[in-house]
Amino acid sequence: MRATITQLFTIARFSIMELLGTPAVLLVMLTAAMGTLVLPLFQFQRFSEDGRLARDCGLATVFLFALFLVIGSAGRLRRALTDGTAAIALVKPLTRGVWFGGQLLGSTALLLWFLIGMGAAVLTAEAHAPQYHTTGAYANVRGVLLSLLFPIAAILLGAANNRFLRGRFTLTATLALPPLLWGTLFLASDLHLGILTFLPVIFLFLVQILAFSSATALLFSPGVITCITLIGAFTLLLSPGGAAWLPLDSLAYGGSIAPKTLLLLLPQSLCLSTLFVWIGIHLLRRKESV
């Protein structure tokens, strides 16, 4: 048992390294973060909602870019099977289920790290959003520009690590981004921390899609681009765990997520995620060739 857990975490750790080492993941996280942070500058239609428009747009950005990460993770799984990197691992004394589980664990950890960082970005965007009725300004421009320095600092940190310590640029930058995004909160005031309840909701929803996409990725033989497209369309259309949309809808219209909703979502997400993981392991075990 202990050996199996060691193998599971070893595979998860190295899959995180692989994902974090990809420039695409850094690009997705940076784009999502910076896009969310500058939202307050582009709010020409306020509808008397002050920071809520920034929050709603921020949540949409978080979800959309997180989907990219999920679909990219599933595509990477497929690629490992087709390019042969999975074969060398599967010759070692571990089961296919452990290998699949480890890959999913790594992708889930990356997703969580992304959402933690983006939580800070959404809070910051809402805090710097228009307070026209009180300040007469459309946005706290100074605050927005200053908060952009923190994501830029992540890039500089990665560059410095690579230049002086020969470390991995993308790995360092991607790991540093969420903590630095939380640093932007020092520049913000009037934070409504209650909206952070959206994080577990989105996480629970995305974990289901991740498990679903990863299991689906084992079925398709076409190229990576086609696979990613099919997975994306499939997951969006079918929306497994569609009940999670309801709390997000409530939040978008200025509501808040009750703890009771989270308690209902948790078992649903666990059940569906477990089901898709089981299906994925079963498919991999029956797979004719790896």
Binding site for other proteins (CB under 8 A): 3, 6-7, 10-11, 14, 17-18, 21, 83-85, 87-95, 166, 168, 288-290
In this complex, which beta carbon is closest to other proteins, that of residue 88 or of residue 237?
A: 88
Is the separation of the CB atoms in 130 and 37 below 8 Å?
Answer: no
CA distances from 235 to 38, 63, 202, 215, 255 (A): 29, 13, 15, 12, 26
Contact 103, 32 (CB under 8 A): no
Beta carbon of residue 287, minimum distance to other proteins (angstroms, whole number): 9
Q: Which is nearer to other proteins, 4 or 256 (CB)?
A: 4
Residue 69 CB, shortest distance to other proteins, in Å, is 18
CB 40 within 8 A of CB 130: yes
Task: Give min distance, CB of 100 to other proteins, in A.
Answer: 14
User: Is 62 within 8 Å of 120 (Cβ atoms)?
Assistant: no
Task: Report in angstroms how near the CB of residue 95 gets to other proteins at its nearest.
Answer: 6
Q: In angstroms, what is the minimal distance from the CB of 27 to other proteins?
A: 16
Give residue 228's identity as a one-letter amino acid code: I
CB of 94 to other proteins, least distance (A): 6
Distance CA 151, CA 251 (A): 27
Structure tokens at 128: 């710097």
Classify 48 in phi/psi space as left (phi over 0), alpha (psi -120 to 50) or beta. left
Q: How far is CA 215 from the centre of its chain?
A: 18
Nearer to other proteins, 108 or 170 (CB): 170
Smaller CB distance to other proteins: residue 83 or 249? 83
For other proteins, the closer of residues 97 and 183 by Cβ is 97
Token pair recorded at residue 210? 């991740």
Q: CA 111, CA 210: separation in Å to the nearest integer?
A: 9
Instruction: Compare residues 167 and 255 and give the one whose CB is closer to other proteins.
Output: 167
- Which position has the token pair 């992708």? 107
